Copies of this chain bind each other. A is one copy, B any other.
Amino acid sequence: MTQAPAELAALQERMAELTDLGRIHAMLFWDQNTMMPPNGAGARADHSATLEVISHNKLIDPEVGRLVEALEPWADGEDPDSDAVRLVAAVKRDHEKAVRVPTQLAADMSHADALGQQAWQEARAASDFGLFREALERHIELRHRYVACFDDAEHPYDLLLDDFEPGLTTAELRPLFASLRDELVALVAQAAGEDGAARNDGVFSGPFEADDQRRAVMVVLEAVGFDPDGWRLDPAPHPFAQSLGPTDVRITTRYDLHDFGVAHFSALHEFGHGLYEAGIAPELARSPLGQPVSLGIHESQSRLWENIVGRSRPFCGWVLPMLREHLGPGIPAGVDADTFYRAVNSVQRSLIRVNADETTYNLHIILRFELELALIEGTLAVDDLPDAWNEGMQRLLGIDVPDDAQGVLQDVHWGAGLIGYFPTYTLGNLIAAQLWTRVEEDLPEIEAQLGRGELAPLSAWLQEHIHRHGRKFPPRELLERVTGDTLRPEPFLAYLRAKLADAGAL
């Protein structure tokens, strides 16, 4: 690398500050969702808004644009894979996206997101979509105004997607999800068990006290790589992971008295997210490159740990005696490793996305994608959304939706104005399977290792190929670098079919 211009250090310093503000915002979010007393919400909203305004102003500062512009000619002559060159590109992207959106529109969206969540909460409590209709219309109107700030998209939905999965387009996603949908509908028809059976065939039905669940979860987490000196585990109603730095990773889980599966698989899921954040190269950590590159890649890490590892036959065999030791007779005596493995891979049609099994899960997502795309395209009116939802649940999963609370109102996302977010959940599943084909090539002993609870080689592989890069390579490029492949559903479908067959569901 040639002598870097002075502008590079100036840009790095500004971006370090901006990154710190982002981490602080993460701290506020974590606290709000784990620790804050309920009456703290009012003041917290002010604190968040203040941080957001300060961060936004720092990002749109014309001096940032000037520094980027001054650095581009230099960057053109450097190694295109160097951190500095990638930093300039990332800042350029972030700055340009931010300056396109007028401050007033950003404030309106922020405001509508807060109001929309409130309206959604009331609507869900009353199971009455009518109470949410207006907020959703406002969100869609604002998204159209947002999209209009940019001029280079083929499809308006592309710009919404881009906020969560940079570079992915509607033109790619639509056929991909359509073929996945058709395959999954057929697979569910073959594999689904009895409607209304206990989740996980009852192996986790307990009852289990929260303290016992926590102890069991911690034993598993510490065995797979949770480091108490740099991580925390706390309960949260909607489990999430948050990182305040690679050595301060906070994950959460939820304890359901009658379903230890919730705590166990949520914890593995969030562990996967946490490991990504923990694995980012220290030299990137205090920069815009020091974060997960997209929600799809992020979700690939959580789903890999939750499903590909956590629901694999060898891991199930390894983990069962540990769980039994800490959960006692809550796990029925007749459950052996094979029963356990079959149980956690059982397929069931169900109403609620967050409770769905690995096979049906993506149909829940595809429904949401189809509906929000239609809303944005204007081919579906907000008033018709509940009917379209119910029709979709029948079409994709073959089940009747009894009410809006268990239907169209079940998720917070649309309430919070998050449109274009849902697809990333399924992307995560697809990418995880694509990565796993490489894992199996590079770590031929992986099955045996999972059976012995030796997760260090897998963690090291993930860090080497995914985590350490942070946001350095855009998601498409990252996937290609690691797998030599583009995003596609076949590896996921092959993986799923093989497992369902092995677990006796096919």
Contacts and interface: CB of A to CB of B under 8 A. Distances in A.
Interface stretch (A33-41, A126-134, A347-355, A458-466): A33-41
Interface in A1-47: 16-17, 20-21, 23-24, 27-28, 31, 35-40, 42-44, 46-47
B286 A37 contact: no
B43 A248 contact: yes
9 contacts: A16-B46, A24-B47, A27-B28, A36-B244, A36-B248, A37-B248, A42-B247, A43-B285, A43-B286
A245 interface: yes
Interface stretch (A226-234, A382-390, A431-439): A226-234
Contacts of A24: 24, 28, 47, 50-51
A283 to B, nearest CB: 13
Given A21-B50, A24-B51, A285-B43, A37 B245 contact: no
Interface string A239-262: 000001111110000000000000
Contacts of A20: 46-47, 50-51
Nearest to A34: B35
Contacts of A40: 230, 244-245, 247-248
Contacts of A28: 24, 27
Interface string A61-99: 000000000000000000000000000000000000000
A380 interface: no
Given A24-B24, A24-B51, A28-B27, A231 B46 contact: no
Among A23, A28, A35, A231, max chain B CB count under 10 A is at A35
A54 interface: yes
A248 B39 CA distance: 6
A46 B17 CA distance: 9
A230 to B, nearest CB: 4
A42 B247 CA distance: 9
A452 to B, nearest CB: 27
A123 to B, nearest CB: 24
Interface of A: 16-17, 20-21, 23-24, 27-28, 31, 35-40, 42-44, 46-47, 50-51, 53-54, 227-232, 244-249, 285-286
Given A27-B31, A54-B54, A229 B47 contact: no
Contact of A231 (B37, B42, B286): B37
Given A43-B244, A248-B43, A35 B35 contact: yes
Nearest to A246: B43
B229 A37 contact: yes
Contacts of A47: 20, 23-24, 27, 244
Nearest to A51: B24
A37 B232 contact: yes
B50 A229 contact: no
Contacts of A36: 244, 248
B39 A230 contact: yes
B244 A35 contact: no
A17 to B, nearest CB: 5
Contacts of A228: 37
Contacts of A286: 43, 46
A259 to B, nearest CB: 26
Contacts of A43: 23, 244-248, 285-286
A146 to B, nearest CB: 25
A43 B46 CA distance: 24
Given A37-B231, A37-B232, A17 B50 contact: yes
B232 A35 contact: yes
The 9 closest A-B pairs by CB, nearest first: A43-B245, A40-B248, A39-B247, A20-B50, A39-B230, A39-B229, A20-B47, A38-B229, A37-B230
